[in-house]
Every structure is written in structure tokens, then in C-alpha cells.
Amino acid sequence: MCSVSIFDMEKFLRALDAEIEAKFLHMGKGWIVCNDCWDTTRVYPGMAGQRKCCHCQSYNTCRVAPSVLPA
């Protein structure tokens, strides 16, 4: 199933950014994978489990387990 965004969400995302910044930056970080650019990033959590991609600024993301790097 395709999870790529099909609408311009800029106005909504600016409001969401402001709310998350005010309420959730004190929480620990988690890992996400972006459904738009496929980047995997460690980020601060957001509202209702939503997380913002540091690469493309999209909220179209999924939580994933931490990356395992070879020793």
C-alpha cells in the first residue's frame, strides 16, 4: 500500500509544529522511517505518536525499532 502524501499539508503542519514544540520537546527521542523520503531518523515524539522527518519535514512517518549497526 502506498503511503506517500498526495495533498499540500504545509498550513496544517506549521500549526502542528507549534503545538508539538510547546508540549512535547521534554520527552525522549524515538526512531522513525519517513514514508515520503524513506529516511530513518531519531526524533522527538509528537502528538498522538506522530513524528516529523528531519530530512523532508513530513509527518508521514512510522515508528521503527532503533537501527542496529555492526560493531
Domains of the chain: 29-66 (2.20.28)
Largest pairwise CA distance in the chain: 43
Q: Judge whether residue 59 has pLDDT over 70.
A: yes
Rounded to the nearest angstrom, the gap between the alpha carbon of residue 55 and the centroid of all alpha carbons in its chain is: 10
> HSE-up of 70 (CA within 13 Å, CB side)?
0
**pLDDT 10s digits, 4-54:** 777 787 888 888 778 777 776 666 677 888 999 998 888 766 554 567 788
What is the reported pLDDT for 37? 92
Q: Which residues pair with 43 in a beta bridge?
A: 30
Going by C-alpha positions, the residue among 29, 21, 22, 15 that lies closest to residue 63 is: 29
Interatomic CA distance for residues 71 and 60, integer angstroms:
31
Q: pTM for this structure?
A: 0.55
What is the reported pLDDT for 62? 86
